[in-house]
């Protein structure tokens, strides 16, 4: 695959080559049907098998029992920002939110449009460079839930523990889902836009325990009530079937890597390589967040000048490393090391960083 680059894009992002090859192979004639899965009915036995397999794989990979509903919804993770409060903040209830940056900000904004958000930790005061410890959380006793964003894709911070709380815990795991071992049963609900660690864009994985589902708001339009899609296994209306098909292939790939533990071992090596170069050259590559709060998925840094950052990004691109520009709101360089980015990509980028420093 001579012309494939190492793709460090933050999302949509790199997919396993193995998965892309299966998609390519199956594209014109899906398993003897004489047509592509894109052209097939979502009521066909072929699609049903994909949907059922994907649901089973989610339960298996995340260690969940049948008490958890697995849904494939549309509208991105961003739709969950308002669908959650619309369902669970009825009758004057408040949702508690840990604010660790852009995405939790947006979740809070939507909650305040629909009902009321309580900020259980205000990350703005620490420029979002710090993930709160358990002691720093101010969790109200009477909120309907506590919402946490496990990885801050833009700033490059990540929770390395699951907050303890008596409240039902809801997590936006969009940018670090399936990247390491984690007790997903601590969440009553978790959700992720698929375009970072799970597949192409177009579908959002929403997983919800039945006791929360039963509290869904019956007064909402049909598609906004979670029960509709949970009961119909995401087939109430036409789902983004092609995206879900690719997600199923990615889930099978995750399982083949040894599940969350197998993926974690590779991801740990990847982030150690890049942070290793940053820490050994801290006069040149400056990490932008507190060490304890560093993300394994999105590694952010600054170089000595903006000119050097520009040069770094364009020199990197010239040799086949793409997607390294920091988010426009923070600048600098961001290295996204999602699951499908091969270890070799991190090894080569680490070498490139050292060479770049020597030359510049």
Ligand X SMILES: *Cc1c(COP(=O)(O)O)cnc(C)c1O
- Binding residues for ligand X (CB under 6 A): 11, 76-78, 103, 149, 153, 172, 174-175, 193
**How far is it, in rounded angstroms, from Cα 334 to Cα 266?**
19
Closer by beta carbon to ligand X, 11 or else 332: 11
CB of 287 to ligand X, least distance (A): 19
- Helix intervals (H) in 115-200: none
Extract long-range pairs of 208-214: CB within 8 Å, 24+ residues apart. Answer: 208/68, 208/69, 208/71, 209/67, 209/68, 209/69, 210/67, 210/68, 210/69, 211/67, 212/88, 212/168, 212/188, 213/69
99 is catalytic: no
Closer by beta carbon to ligand X, 143 or else 198: 198
CB of 2 to ligand X, least distance (A): 31
Kindly tell me the burial class for residue 311, based on how many C-beta atoms sit within 10 Å of its own C-beta (0-12, 13-18, 19 or more).
middle
Question: How many other C-beta atoms are found inside a 10 Å radius of the C-beta of residue 333?
Answer: 21
Beta strand segments in 211-251, E: none
Closer by beta carbon to ligand X, 11 or else 345: 11
Closer by beta carbon to ligand X, 83 or else 174: 174
Closer by beta carbon to ligand X, 19 or else 77: 77
Cα–Cα distances (Å) from 63 to 4, 16, 59, 201, 277, in that order, read: 34, 23, 6, 24, 35
Closer by beta carbon to ligand X, 78 or else 94: 78
CB of 297 to ligand X, least distance (A): 9
Altogether, the residues listed in the chain come to a count of 360
Secondary structure letter of residue 198 according to DSSP: T
CB of 240 to ligand X, least distance (A): 12
Which is catalytic among the residues 103, 155, 296, 357?
Answer: 103
359 is catalytic: no
CB of 38 to ligand X, least distance (A): 21
Calculate the CA 213 to chain-centre distance. Answer: 22
| DSSP secondary structure, 268-316, as one string | HHHHHHHHHHHHHTTTTSEE-S-GGGB-SSEEEEE-SSHHHHHHHHHHH
Which is catalytic among the residues 99, 129, 155, 172?
Answer: 172
Which is catalytic among the residues 99, 155, 176, 196?
Answer: 196
CB of 148 to ligand X, least distance (A): 10
Calculate the CA 234 to chain-centre distance. Answer: 20
Q: Residue 129 phi/psi, 5° resolution? A: -95, -5
**How far is it, in rounded angstroms, from Cα 10 to Cα 250?**
17
Spatial contact of 341 and 324, defined as CB atoms under 8 Å apart: no
SS3 at position 157: strand
Closer by beta carbon to ligand X, 22 or else 330: 330
CB of 195 to ligand X, least distance (A): 6
172 is catalytic: yes
The catalytic site residues sit at: 103, 172, 196
């Amino acid at each position: 695959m001579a012309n494939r680059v190492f793709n460090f894009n933050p999302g949509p992002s790199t997919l396993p080559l193995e998965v892309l090859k299966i998609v390519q192979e199956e594209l014109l004639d899906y398993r003897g049907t004489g047509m592509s899965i894109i052209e097939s009915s979502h009521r066909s036995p072929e699609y049903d098998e994909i949907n059922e397999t994907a649901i089973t794989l989610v339960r298996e990979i995340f260690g969940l029992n049948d008490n958890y509903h697995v849904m494939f919804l549309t509208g991105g993770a961003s739709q969950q920002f308002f669908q959650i409060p619309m369902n669970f903040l009825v009758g004057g209830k408040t949702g508690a939110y840990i604010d660790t940056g852009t995405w939790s900000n947006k979740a809070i904004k939507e909650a305040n449009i629909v009902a009321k958000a309580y900020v259980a930790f205000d990350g703005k005061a620490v420029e979002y460079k710090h993930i709160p410890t358990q002691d720093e959380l101010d969790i109200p006793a009477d909120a309907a839930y506590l919402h946490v964003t496990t990885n801050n894709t833009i700033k490059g911070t990540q929770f390395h523990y699951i907050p303890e709380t008596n409240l039902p815990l809801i997590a936006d795991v969009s940018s670090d889902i399936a990247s390491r071992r984690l007790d997903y049963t601590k969440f009553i609900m978790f959700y992720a836009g698929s375009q970072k660690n799970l597949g192409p864009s177009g579908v959002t994985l929403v997983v919800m325990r039945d006791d929360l589902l039963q509290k869904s708001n019956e007064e909402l339009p049909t598609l906004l009530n979670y029960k509709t899609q949970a009961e119909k296994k995401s087939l109430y209306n036409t789902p983004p079937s092609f995206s879900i098909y690719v997600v199923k292939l990615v889930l099978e790939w995750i399982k083949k890597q040894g599940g969350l533990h197998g993926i974690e071992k590779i991801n740990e090596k990847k982030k150690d390589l890049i942070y290793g170069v940053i820490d050994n050259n801290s006069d040149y590559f400056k990490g932008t967040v507190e060490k304890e709060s560093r993300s394994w998925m999105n590694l952010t840094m600054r170089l000595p000048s903006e000119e050097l950052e520009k040069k770094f990004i364009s020199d990197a691109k010239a040799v086949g490393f793409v997607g390294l520009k920091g988010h426009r709101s923070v600048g600098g360089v961001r290295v996204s090391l999602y699951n499908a980015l091969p270890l070799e990509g991190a090894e080569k980028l680490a070498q490139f960083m050292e060479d770049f420093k020597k030359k510049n």
